[in-house]
């Protein structure tokens, strides 16, 4: 965030939608994605004047992997014109190297066979 008196420039992030019943590209589990819209904003007294550099991301709820999608597809999903996502549309930004315990939700290294918190089998 950058401020000059009453003017400022910052990146704003907003969760737009949750897409249910999708298969995660990173871990191949049935999960859901959060559609995140991010853009850079020039504001005056915290009132946005200009917006640019729009980006859309999908965050997988099962393993917290992050994928960037094209702006056109992100706008279609945001406006409910598109319901499904193809793996070819996803560009890997961050694939989580940990696994999430199905029982308690703890992030665990992929090499673990059992959850250290609840003891449930991971594989």
Lowest mean pLDDT among 25-29, 38-42, 49-53, 94-98: 94-98
62-117 confidence digits (pLDDT tens): 878 889 999 999 999 999 898 888 888 888 876 555 677 778 777 777 778 888 88
Average pLDDT estimate for 30-59:
91
Contact (CB, 8 A) for 34 and 59: yes
Q: How confident is the model at residue 122 (pLDDT cuts 50, 70, 90)?
A: confident
Q: Could you give the percent of the chain with pLDDT greater than 70? A: 91
Whether pTM > 0.75 for this model: the answer is no
Residue that wins the pLDDT comparison between 120 and 34: 34
Residue 46 backbone zone (phi > 0: left; psi -120 to 50: alpha; other: beta): left
pLDDT at 96: 59
Torsion sign (Cα): 48, 54, 60, 64: negative
Strands 91-94 and 30-44: unpaired
pLDDT at 43: 87
Dihedral, 71, 74, 76, 81 alpha carbons, nearest 10:
170
Phi first, then psi: what are they for 94, rounded to 5°?
Answer: -150, 115
> What rounded mean pLDDT belongs to the chain?
84
Q: Does the pLDDT of residue 1 top 60, yes or no? A: no
């Amino acid at each position: 965030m950058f401020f000059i008196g009453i003017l400022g420039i910052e990146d704003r992030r907003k969760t737009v939608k949750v897409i249910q019943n999708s298969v995660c590209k990173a871990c191949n589990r049935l999960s859901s994605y959060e559609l995140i819209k991010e853009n850079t904003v020039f504001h005056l007294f915290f009132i946005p004047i200009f917006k640019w550099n729009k980006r859309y991301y999908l965050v997988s709820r099962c393993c917290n992997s992050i994928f960037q999608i094209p702006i056109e597809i992100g706008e279609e999903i945001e406006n409910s014109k598109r319901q499904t996502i193809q793996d070819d549309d996803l560009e890997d930004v961050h694939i989580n190297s940990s696994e999430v315990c199905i029982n308690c939700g703890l992030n665990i290294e992929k090499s673990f066979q059992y959850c250290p918190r609840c003891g449930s089998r991971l594989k």
